[in-house]
């Protein structure tokens, strides 16, 4: 298992580099393949040995080698998260090929989380293919519990996407304020496609709880008022990811079957 863990971690770190490219370029509508990595300040191309996940950032103390502009802590953080997430799936679900889909889902959650925190959007280019791929994989029977079979996946898309859309519409009718963005609706549809409708109550409940706590702490700490937008995507993604590992157990316990 030790060598699997090392391989998984290095693979995750490397993929983390690519996730960074997506996080920084997708919201700007830029290509994720061209041009190669460059300093956001002086645009100097970054040589391969300065582009090694995690290590290069530490060695250069988070600065560009040429212009010494600070390089965001987001970069090594995303790489480390991707590495740890890959190990987490390996340890929890075992070294099987079919878990690569699950790892890809986790990477998509990382991209969406960081983009939503910064730009308050959840790009369709992630959520729609995310929803479609979940449905296709479930239809082919390639998803294994706690992921969805096809019926649960289909109901997940309808309940997740449709249910949240209806809730948002009603919220807006009653309060006159836009409650949730449609990005959140599509993300919940994507979660439903992969994890089935069974995952949605847990995901919505814990996302709301976590989002409220962080939102209140944030408002108190920064003295901002309630009109500031609060991204909901990161909490949906975090709660859904948590569901994979403890969700079915929590639901059983809650229903008194545990």
Which residues would be at the binding site for Zn ion (CB under 5 A)?
A: 39, 41-42, 64, 66-67, 69
Smallest separation (angstroms) from Zn ion to the CB of 70: 10
How far is it, in rounded angstroms, from Cα 242 to Cα 251? 12
Six-digit token pair at 207? Answer: 């996302």
Smallest separation (angstroms) from Zn ion to the CB of 42: 3
Give the chain's end-to-end CA distance (angstroms, integer): 30
Quick one: 64 or 85, whose CB is closer to Zn ion? 64
How far is it, in rounded angstroms, from Cα 53 to Cα 51? 6
Q: Which residues of 52-89 are buried (b: 16+ CB within 10 A; e: fewer)?
A: ebbebbeeeeeebeeeeeebeeebbbbbbbbbebbbbb
Chain-centroid distance, C-alpha 213: 19
Quick one: 61 or 97, whose CB is closer to Zn ion? 61
Quick one: 58 or 158, whose CB is closer to Zn ion? 58
Residue with tokens 């496609």: 193
Smallest separation (angstroms) from Zn ion to the CB of 71: 8
Smallest separation (angstroms) from Zn ion to the CB of 74: 16
Contact 115, 123 (CB under 8 A): yes
What count of other Cβ atoms lies within 10 Å of the Cβ of residue 241?
A: 21
Quick one: 67 or 100, whose CB is closer to Zn ion? 67
Smallest separation (angstroms) from Zn ion to the CB of 67: 3
Quick one: 66 or 119, whose CB is closer to Zn ion? 66
Quick one: 39 or 135, whose CB is closer to Zn ion? 39
Smallest separation (angstroms) from Zn ion to the CB of 69: 5
| Phi, psi dihedrals of residue 102, rounded to the nearest 5° | -65, -40
């Amino acid at each position: 298992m030790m060598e699997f863990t090392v391989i998984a971690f290095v693979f995750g770190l490397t993929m983390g580099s690519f996730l960074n490219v997506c996080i920084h370029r997708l919201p700007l509508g830029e290509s994720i393949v061209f041009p190669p990595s460059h300093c956001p300040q002086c645009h100097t191309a970054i040589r391969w040995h300065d582009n090694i996940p995690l290590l290069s950032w530490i060695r250069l103390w988070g600065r560009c080698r040429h212009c010494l502009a600070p390089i965001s802590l987001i970069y090594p953080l995303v790489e480390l998260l991707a590495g740890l997430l890959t190990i987490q799936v390996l340890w929890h679900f075992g070294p099987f090929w079919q878990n690569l889909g699950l790892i890809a889902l986790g990477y998509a959650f990382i991209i969406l989380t960081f983009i939503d925190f910064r730009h308050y959007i959840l790009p369709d280019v992630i959520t729609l293919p995310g929803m479609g791929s979940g449905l296709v994989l479930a239809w082919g029977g390639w998803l294994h519990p706690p992921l969805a079979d096809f019926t649960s996946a289909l109901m997940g898309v309808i309940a997740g996407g449709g249910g949240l859309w209806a809730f948002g519409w009603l919220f807006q009718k009653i309060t006159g304020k836009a409650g949730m963005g449609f990005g959140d609706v599509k993300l919940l549809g994507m979660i439903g496609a992969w994890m089935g409708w069974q995952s949605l109550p847990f995901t919505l409940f814990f996302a709301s709880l976590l989002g409220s706590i962080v939102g209140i702490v944030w408002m108190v700490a920064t003295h901002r008022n309630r009109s500031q937008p609060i991204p909901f995507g990161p909490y949906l993604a975090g709660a859904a990811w948590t569901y994979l590992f403890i969700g079915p157990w929590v639901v059983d316990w809650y229903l008194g079957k545990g």
